[in-house]
Structure 1
Amino acid sequence: MLDTGDDAPEVTAADHSGDTVTLTFAEPTILYFYPRDDTPGCTVEAEEFDTELATYRDAGVAVYGVSTDDTESHAAFREKYDLGVDLLADPDGEVAAAFGVPVEGGAADRVTYALADGEVKRVYRGVDPDGHARDVLQDLVDMGIAAE
């Protein structure tokens, strides 16, 4: 698993709309891996990142959720919960592998990466979804990565 100070890999994946997205992580970005769409903990995490999304954007930080679900599942998940957060499909586990995130039983572990300037700034393992989005944003401000 990548750790603080490691170079961030460039990754390409389809988003919830089926559009191809390539991320280089030059700009501040949160990449949060989660096990499955429309499950209790994953829904809490997605809704909380969505609630904070405007604040993240105002602070100059992009947010992407990644799971091994496909684009159709992501689209349905976003629609069901009226989410605005961008979700990347990683059905083959390639994005997870690039970050060293374990995939067990077809589901990625819950891990969040704070990235900027092409490197890993912080890694959050064993994430508790409740309050996580707010805590990460505060950490980014405290580290000087995000504007207040």
Structure 2
Amino acid sequence: MADTESQKINIVCMDGSEEAEKAFKWYVENVHGASSYVIVVHCVDHRKLNTYGSLWEPADLKLIMQAFRDEETRADSTVEKLQRTLSTSKVKGEVLKLSGEPGPTIIGIAQDRKANMILTGCRGLGTLRRTFLGSVSDYIIHHSTVPVLVCRH
């Protein structure tokens, strides 16, 4: 854990996408300094799984459990990759795998760890898709009490 007295704590949101990789690289090259400590956050939201069935048709419990395990396996793989990326970059910090809705979860960890800023990538959803699907970066921008940097390539 970071020494909050002497270090600036920065949250970098990473979902394993190419956009997130570019955002992390940009962070390392342009923001991270000797007094920085980065918390790379990967958030797993099991509610988004499409294999759960629908309200109209009861889902098979075995399928739900298998989808949950598959999602956890993908998340663990992503976290291992993020840990390697952090180690390779020689950046001081840690990788956290959290569960829940990404926006509120990221805001919560930023508040709990007294972060100085949050950096997130942006997939560039169009207005219509963002309206219906939501946007993690949009949520963070509107709910954060610390500066937010949205890195869009």
TM bin (shorter chain): 0.3 to 0.5
Normalising by structure 2, we get a TM-score of 0.41
Higher helix proportion (structure 1 or 2): 2
Greater percentage in strand: 1
- Structure whose CA Rg is larger: 2
